[in-house]
Amino acid sequence: MIVTIFGDVHGNLVALEKFFKIEKMETDLFICHGDVVNYGPWSNECIELLQDLNCKVLKGNHEQFYIQGSYGGTNVIAKTFFQKCYENFDSKWIQTLKGYEEETIIQNFTITHTINNSYIFSDTNIDEISLDCDYIIGHSHQQFKRSIGDNFVFNTGSLGQNRQYINQSCYIKIDTVKQKIELKSFLHDIDKVINQMKKENYPEICLNYYLSKQKVIL
């Protein structure tokens, strides 16, 4: 079985649609580890597409923010994005978000949004983390493979808001028969996302966040 795992879509329908165009015929099961919503202009549409395609979706911290109706952090940029995006969020999807599970298991992998509610990067000190299985996570928007003791942590990276190259979408594929795992990526047209944000009058601080990021030249 081929399992394709992704997350941190963050309202980027352009990236999500291209992702499914690439992988739909090559995948038996799709799993999203959360953060479908916020930042990008298509939170509602991304939720609907994942539901229509029968994708298994887990709950990220941004789903929790939408469920509670408020941003729980202190980051000014993230708070501004939440205020803008949440006003366009269709409340009919709240029950869908509430139904997302916290984790799922595929063979020896536990898949969840993050571990201990922490941002884990490729260079994060992980000496105090103890694992009893291998993990596939997201949350930090950085793709990597790391070892912790006898186990491994894979981060899918972000499908919709790569923090290094804003137009690069990252994800992971597992072949459960061959027991092979691949870190994958593709490029999408981020200008379509930014132009839609401009049409919807996103605050300048939000637009500048996207415009300030590096891009891989298509």
Alpha helices in 125-213 (DSSP H): 190-199, 204-211
CA distances from 199 to 29, 54, 146, 195, 203 (A): 35, 31, 41, 6, 11
Query: What contacts 122, CB < 8 A, 6 or more positions away?
Result: 142, 144, 146, 155
> In the block, which residue shows the tokens 């994800």?
171
Per-residue pLDDT of the chain (218 residues), as tens digits, is 999 999 999 999 999 999 999 999 999 999 999 999 999 999 999 999 999 999 999 999 999 999 999 998 899 999 999 999 999 999 999 999 999 999 999 999 999 999 999 999 999 988 788 888 999 999 999 999 999 888 999 999 999 999 999 999 999 999 999 999 999 999 999 999 999 999 999 999 999 999 999 999 86
